[in-house]
Amino acid sequence: MNARTQLRMLVLAVLERQPEHGYAIAQAIKTRSEGLLTAREGTLYPALHALESEGLISSREYEHAGRPRREYRLTERGQAALQGIRRDWQRSVQAVNSVLGGAES
């Protein structure tokens, strides 16, 4: 799985819990991965725009503390896509674990 696909998967998983703005999505990825994964602004926002154009997430703009903020949420289509991505991910993990499992006795 390439980094772009992985980021898309992580964004959908974060938004499954609740709607979030971009910075909070990046922080959730970092926190949940215990700092091993990051979502930099230069890759996160293009991914968000692509996911929105595909109908997997939606967004709305609102004002917070006098500043505009955009909040993203998972759509039904996005939820279905996330379920498929999870199945594919589990198959990939199982395949890698089979190879890494060690030498047979």
Residues of the domain holding 52: 3-98
Helix or strand (DSSP H, E) at 10: helix 3-17
Q: Quick check: is 105 in a domain?
A: no
- How many domains does one find in the chain? 1
Quick check: 97 pLDDT over 70?
yes
Residue-level pLDDT at 105? 46
Q: Quick check: is 30 in a domain?
A: yes
pLDDT in tens, 27-73: 999 999 999 999 999 999 999 999 999 999 999 999 989 999 999 99
Cβ distance 38 to 60 under 8 Å? Answer: no
Amino acid occupying residue 62: Y
Q: Phi, psi (5° rounding) for residue 62?
A: -145, 170
Q: Phi, psi (5° rounding) for residue 35?
A: 85, 0
Q: Quick check: is 56 in a domain?
A: yes
Q: Quick check: is 66 in a domain?
A: yes
Q: Quick check: is 103 in a domain?
A: no
Q: Quick check: is 61 in a domain?
A: yes
Read off the CATH number of the domain in which 59 is found: 1.10.10.10
pTM of the model: 0.87
Q: How far apart are alpha carbons 94 and 92 in whole angstroms?
A: 5
Mean pLDDT of 18-33: 97
